[in-house]
Amino acid sequence: MTYNFDEPVDRQGTSCVKYDSRKDVFGTDSVIPMWVADMDFKSPPFVIEALRQRLDHEILGYTIRREEYFSSLRKWVERRHSWEINEDWISFSPGIVPALNICTLAYTDRGDGIIIQPPVYFPFYNAVTDHGRRLVYNQLIENDGKWEIDFGKLKKKASEGARMLFLCNPHNPVGRSWTKHEMETIAGICADNNILIISDEIHSDLVLPPYRHTPLACLSPDIADITLTCMAPSKTFNLAGLSTSSMIISNPELKKKFDSIIESLHISGGNIFGTEASIAAYTHGDEWLDSMLDYININVEYVVKELQETKLIRPVPPEATYMIWLDCREMGMDTGELNKFFIYKAGVGMSKGTVFGPGGEGFMRMNIACPLDTLKRAIDNIKNALLKL
Ligand SMILES: Cc1ncc(COP(=O)(O)O)c(C=O)c1O
């Protein structure tokens, strides 16, 4: 079956964050929205069909998560990521951000240090500070446009008493898919210092060929023992509004603690539609996902080529995710000026690099999960605005 990712879909007036919050976020509705991480593509037809079938039953009472919820995820990670897991390692979470917060509560105490590697997805910060824990930064380093982990500094920070590390794997916003060697080094440092790793792998299905995702926990049983893995169909199949994700936790003690918080907050039930969508996506999603990734690759190539020509914006080609990290430092503007330039001169609404913390100064993050025509309009707007500088 062929899927049409060129189809424009009018999302305005559907209570969608990306379009309907533009005025609040950018001060104007007149921007092409290329910020929050969802896609302008329709969710896959087999997911919509599964939801329709469930809706046809017309009773939406209390629900349980049936066996296929667990088996479809188990088979998916085996097929897509060569990781064999047991179904009883899977825990439900209503989202990955809630899961990060639950991990903070479950495994750390007030005042404890949690390592993050900025520039990084901004809710990582709140998942630490909102609970009175201490942020420990191991800032990524940039080597000629490639973002890497500063292992020397990580070793030092880890030895200073941190309890946990949030790993963004693949990394949003810099688009890195960490290599086995990089992950083994991180895990070795954490193991030596009794640090738990929360590996946020929400973007794992969005690794762009020829790169391949390796789940951290599949590297060895010892690594699995100190790792909790976050997985979800939400980014992959554009289902974020269904609030359904999973944790894979092979260490029974850690799993028990995670589940006890989910139970105590009475959020383990989830919702009927999230369960049905997750099962349909993980059961039937391979072909759709492969076509979608091909489409994203075309968009990546387009943006990289067009923006490189400007000499003022240096796009960082992503190894994963549908985000492109744009180095705008040659434009010589501070964050406020850059933001205003893109909103008011180019009419494009992107995420400011600084929302991702230290290292984000002079950068913007562009979400390219949209029809190529939309992307072309945005890039034309940016190029025309640059000519007038
Ligand atoms: C690294 C990362 N983790 C988590 C999320 C969001 O997770 P959820 O919507 O399940 O809370 C995002 C969304 O962009 C993300 O980039």
- How do residues 331-380 score in pLDDT, each as one tens digit? 999 999 999 999 999 999 999 999 999 999 999 999 999 999 999 999 99
Separation of 267 CA from ligand 1 center, angstroms?
A: 18
Residue with tokens 């025309």: 384
> 249 with 370, same domain?
no
Averaged pLDDT score across all residues of the chain: 97
Model pLDDT for residues 135-172, shown as the tens digit of each residue: 999 999 999 899 999 999 999 999 999 999 999 999 99
> 141 with 89, same domain?
yes
Model pLDDT for residues 43-78, shown as the tens digit of each residue: 999 999 999 999 999 999 999 999 999 999 999 999
- 56 falls within a domain: yes
- Pocket mutation for ligand 1, best pick of 93, 96, 207 (most atoms within 8 Å of C-beta): 96
Separation of 96 CA from ligand 1 center, angstroms?
A: 6
> 241 with 354, same domain?
no
CATH code, domain carrying 351: 3.90.1150.10
pLDDT at position 171, please? Answer: 98
**pLDDT of 123 above 80:** yes
Separation of 336 CA from ligand 1 center, angstroms?
A: 25
Rounded CA separation 344/229 (Å):
40
**pLDDT of 176 above 80:** yes
> 193 with 180, same domain?
yes
- Pocket mutation for ligand 1, best pick of 38, 100, 121 (most atoms within 8 Å of C-beta): 121
- 6 falls within a domain: no
- 80 falls within a domain: yes
- CA torsion sign, 325 to 234 to 5 to 17? negative
User: From the alpha carbon of 321, which atom of ligand 1 is closest?
Assistant: 16
CATH code, domain carrying 113: 3.40.640.10
Model pLDDT for residues 291-343, shown as the tens digit of each residue: 999 999 999 999 999 999 999 999 999 999 999 999 999 999 999 999 999 99
Separation of 37 CA from ligand 1 center, angstroms?
A: 8
> 149 with 239, same domain?
yes
> 245 with 302, same domain?
no
Separation of 387 CA from ligand 1 center, angstroms?
A: 35
> 59 with 32, same domain?
no
Domain count, the chain: 2
- 10 falls within a domain: no
Average pLDDT over residues 112-121: 98
Domain extent, residue 347, equals: 17-43+287-387
- Pocket mutation for ligand 1, best pick of 172, 213, 244, 356 (most atoms within 8 Å of C-beta): 172
Model pLDDT for residues 246-276, shown as the tens digit of each residue: 999 999 999 999 999 999 999 999 899 999 9
Separation of 237 CA from ligand 1 center, angstroms?
A: 13
> 279 with 334, same domain?
no
> 319 with 272, same domain?
no
> 329 with 190, same domain?
no
- 11 falls within a domain: no
How sure is the predictor about 1, in pLDDT bands with cuts at 50, 70 and 90? confident
Last residue of a domain, one of 267, 284, 301: 284
CA 277 to centroid of chain Cα atoms: 19
Ligand 1, CB within 6 Å, residue ranges: 37, 95-97, 121, 168, 172, 200, 202, 232, 234, 240, 245
First to last CA, the chain: 46
User: From the alpha carbon of 245, which atom of ligand 1 is closest?
Assistant: 10
Separation of 116 CA from ligand 1 center, angstroms?
A: 15
Tokens of 16: 């969608």
> 39 with 88, same domain?
no
Last residue of a domain, one of 284, 304, 334: 284
> What is the pTM for the complete model shown?
0.98
- 3 falls within a domain: no
Last residue of a domain, one of 265, 284, 303: 284
Query: Please, is 352 exposed, middle or buried when counting C-beta atoms within 10 Å of its C-beta (0-12, 13-18, 19+)?
Result: middle
- 12 falls within a domain: no
> 56 with 22, same domain?
no
The amino acid that residue 235 corresponds to is K
Please, what is the Cα angle at 210 between 291 and 299, to 5 degrees? 50
- 7 falls within a domain: no
Model pLDDT for residues 190-224, shown as the tens digit of each residue: 999 999 999 999 999 999 999 999 999 999 999 99
Residue with tokens 């895990």: 187
